[in-house]
Amino acid sequence: MFIRAVLLLIDVNTIQAMGNKMSQIKKSNKKYQSDVIVDLIKQFGFEHITLNPGASYRGLHDSLVNYGENSPPMMLCTHEKIAVQMAHGYARHTGKPMVAIVHNLVGLLHAPMGVYYAYLDRAPVFIIGATGPIDETKRRPFIDWIHSANVQGQVIRDYVKWDAQPVTVDYIPDSFARAYSVMMTGRQGPIYMCYDAGLQEAELDHDISMPPENSPRVPAQAAPDPVALDKAVDMLINSVRPAIVADFAARPPYGWDHVIDLAETLGASVWDVNSRLNFPSTHPLNLSMDQEACYEDVDTVLLLDVADFEKHTHVRDISTRTVKPSVNADAKWIDIGWTDQEISKWSMDYSRTLYPDVRMTADVITAVPMLTNLLKARIANNQELIKKIASRSEIIKVKHENLRAKWRKEAEEEWDSQPMTVGRLALEIWDVIKDEDWVLTAGTMHDTARRLWDFDRPYRHAGRELGTGTQIGTSLGVALANKGTGRLCINLQPDGDLMFDAGALWMAAKYEIPMLIVMYNNRAYYNDWNHQIVIANNRGTDPSRAHIGMDLLDPDPDFAGLARAQGWWAEGPIENGDDVKSAIKRAIEQVKKGNPALVDTICRRGKGKEMLT
C-alpha cells in the first residue's frame, strides 16, 4: 500500500510539473505569418498532423509547437510517403481529413506514391509543403536553391484536385478555405498547399481577414437529375433480375445503410467492390467475389460510384490480357457517380468508357436514398411486384449460402500443411477475434478474410488493399482513428509491403497506437512471381525459375525481431497452424494494454489464378 501511495504521489507530482511547464511555455510578443496557417488549421477542425521535418517550414513548425501549443498534435513520420498514407487511412475510416506536411522539393518527391494512391482512392488529404524563400536574396547558398522550384506543385498537379502557392499572407486564408472545399467536394481527393519559407518567417504587421466561422465549409453535394432518376426507377421496376455494384457508395459510414435499404427494397444481388465497406458480408443478398453467381440472368446493372465497371463485371484471362463480360449483352446499365469528374489528364485511372442507358453525375450519398424512396412508392401497392422481389431475394439467398459454405470448405482443405494455407490462417484468426469489436485496417489476404469473416458493421473494414508499399501507412492511419475506442485494429500485413516501409513500425510505438499485425508472410513478392509463371507457361520457358528476382529468402526477414527493435511486442515466425491461435491471443492481451503487437505467420504460396491481380 505504501509503495502504491508513493507511486501515486510521483504520478501526481509529475503531472503537476508537466502542467506547470506547459503554462511556462515561452511565447513570442510578436505574431508571424505562419501563425495564420495555424489559426486556419484550428478553425477548420483538423485533429492530427503527420510530418517529416524540414527547414523549409521551420517557421510553420515553430508556430505549430509554440503559438499553437502543438494542438492539433504533430506526429513525426519516418518518411513523407507514410505521412500522407496515415492521413489517407484516417480519411478512409472517418471520412475526415488530416494535415500531412512534406518538406520542400525533396520531401515532396518522397511523397508522390502516397499522394497518387490517395487520389485513386478518393481520399481527402490536406498536404502542406514549402519552398524558397522565393526572394532570391534571402536564400542560403546551394541548399535553398536546390530546394526551390518554379511552380512547385507541378510535381503532383496531375493527381491532386488542386494546388496553390500564395504569394502574400493575405491570400492564405482564401486559398486555404478553397482548398478545403475542393478537397471535400465529390469526387474527393488530395490537395497541395505550398508556403514560401520567407513568407512563413516574416512578422505579421496587419490584421488578416479570416473565413467566417459559421459559413459552410463545403457546398451541398450534387443531387441527381429528376428525369434521369425517374427513368432509372422505371428500368429497375421492370427488371426481372437486377444487380447492384457498389464501389465508393459507403464513403461516409452511413452510406452502408443506404445500400442495404436499396438492395432489400429491390431484391437485387450486391457486388461490393470494397473500396469502402459497402455491404454486410453475410447479408443474404451479398454475392460479391463470384461473378457467375452475381450476374447470372441479370438484365439490369446499377453502378453506385464505380471507378472501373469492367473489373467487377468481366472475367479476365491474365495470360492473354483479354476480358469476357459476365453480364448478358442485352442488359441495361444505370450509372450514378462521379465517373468523368476530376479525372487526371495524365493518369489513365479512368479506365474504359461505359455507355450506360441512364447516366447521372451525382453524389450517391444523396442519390441512393432518393432512388430508394421512389422505388418504395412504386412497389408499395403492387402485390405482384412484391412477390417477384421476395422470390428473387430468396433465390439470391440460397446462392449466397452456398457460396459461403463452399468458401468455408475450401479454406479447410489441406488443414495440416506446413507452411499453413491462407484459408487456415484466416479461420484461426477469425476464431480468436469473432467476439471482439474488431476493425480490419486494409488488406484481406486476397479476399480470403472477406469470404470467411463476418463484416457486420460499416467500420469493420476501411477498404481494400492498394498497391505494394501502401498498407502499413494507411493501416496506421486507421488505427489512429480508432485509438481510444476500445476496438481491436488488425492489419493482415503482407511481407513484401512491410519491407518497403519497415521504419513505420516505430511510429506506432512512439505514439502509442495500439494495433495487431498478423504477417501474411509468404516470403516473396508472390503476385509477380505468379505472373512470371504465367509468362513461362505461355512461352514454354522454365516456370521453376519464376522465383528469380521475386523471393524474400536467404536471408528470411525477421519481422518479429524488426518489430521488437522498434518497441513492439512480437513473436514468430510461425508455420504450424496449430500455434497461431495462442500466439494471437497473447498479442491481443498486449494490444488491450495499449501496445502494438506483431505475430509473424508463414503462409504457403497461393495457387494459380487466385493470387493474380
Cite the beta strand spans of 276-377 per DSSP E. 300-304, 314-317, 322-325, 332-337, 358-361
Count other Cβ atoms within 10 Å, centred on residue 214. 5
Looking at the chain, the whole-number percentage of residues with pLDDT higher than 70 is: 95
- DSSP H helices, 306-441, are 309-313, 364-379, 383-411, 422-433
% pLDDT > 90, the chain: 76
Residue 4's pLDDT is what? 38
Q: Are 533 and 545 in contact (CB under 8 A)?
A: no
Question: How many Å separate Cα 516 from the centre of its chain?
Answer: 17
Please state, in angstroms and rounded to a whole number, the distance separating the CA atoms of residues 414 and 422.
11
Q: How far is CA 315 from CA 116, 535, 609, 613, in A?
A: 27, 19, 12, 12
DSSP class per residue in 125-158: -EEEEEE--SSGGGPPTTHHHHT--TTGGGGTGG
Q: Say if CB 105 and CB 99 are below 8 A apart.
A: no
137-192 pLDDT, tens digit per residue, is 888 898 888 888 888 999 999 999 999 999 999 999 999 999 999 999 989 999 99
pLDDT of 18 over the 80 cut: no
Is the Cβ–Cβ distance between 151 and 186 less than 8 Å? no
Contact predicate 4/11, CB 8 Å: no
Say what the pLDDT of residue 23 is.
Answer: 53
Q: Give the pLDDT score at 527.
A: 77
Between these two residues, 538 and 305, which has the higher pLDDT value? 305
CB 84 within 8 A of CB 58: no
The pLDDT value given to residue 320? 85
Q: What is the pLDDT of residue 17?
A: 52
Of the candidates 445, 400, 442, which has an alpha carbon nearest to the alpha carbon of residue 424?
445
Give the list of residues 6+ apart from residue 456 with CB closer than 8 angstroms, or none: 280, 281, 282
To which residue does cell 467487377 refer? Answer: 312
* pLDDT tens digit sequence for 252-296: 778 899 999 999 999 999 999 999 999 999 999 999 999 999 999
Which residues, listed in sequence order, are joined to residue 600 by a DSSP beta bridge?
A: 519
Report d(CA 59, CA 66) in Å as an integer: 11
Polymer length in residues for the chain: 613
**Tens of pLDDT along 525-536?**
877 888 888 888
Q: Which three cell numbers stand for residue 489?
A: 485494429
* Dihedral class, residue 101 (left if φ above 0, else alpha if ψ from -120 to 50, else beta): beta
**Lowest-confidence segment of 210-224, 339-353, 569-583 by average pLDDT:** 339-353
CA 369 to chain centre: 25
Between CA 493 and CA 517 the distance in angstroms is 6
Can you give the pLDDT at residue 194? Answer: 96
H, E, C per residue of 434-488 = CCCCEEECCCCCCCHHHHHCCCCCHHHECCCCCCCCCHHHHHHHHHHHHCCCCCE
3 state DSSP class of 194:
strand
Residues 437, 440, 444, 449, Cα dihedral to 10°: 0
The count of other CB atoms within 10 Å of the CB of residue 525 is: 20
Averaged pLDDT for residues 89-108 = 94
CA distance 298 to 255: 24
When the pLDDT of each residue in the chain is averaged and rounded to a whole number, the result is: 91
Q: Outline where 202-245 has alpha helix (H).
A: 226-237
Residue 5: predicted pLDDT = 40
Q: What is the pLDDT of residues 474-520, one digit of tens each?
A: 999 999 999 999 999 999 999 999 999 999 999 999 999 999 999 99
Report strand pairing: 314-317 vs 322-325.
Answer: antiparallel
pTM over 0.85: yes
DSSP structure string for 396-422: HHHHHHHHHHHHHHHHTTTTT-SSBPH
Is the per-residue pLDDT at 22 higher than 60?
Answer: no
What are the start-end ranges of the H helices in 483-568? 495-500, 505-510, 526-539, 559-564
Res 406 pLDDT > 90: yes
Query: Mean of the pLDDT values across residues 443-450?
Result: 94
Residues 352-362, mean pLDDT to the nearest whole number: 93
Domains and CATH numbers, the chain: 27-201 (3.40.50.970), 226-403 (3.40.50.1220), 412-611 (3.40.50.970)
- Count of beta carbons in the 10 Å neighbourhood of residue 350: 12
- Does an H or E element contain 293, and which? helix 291-295
Q: Phi and psi for 523 in degrees, rounded to 5? A: 55, 45
pLDDT value of residue 608: 38
The confidence score (pLDDT) of residue 10 equals 43
CB proximity list for 296: less than 8 A, separation 6 or greater:
241
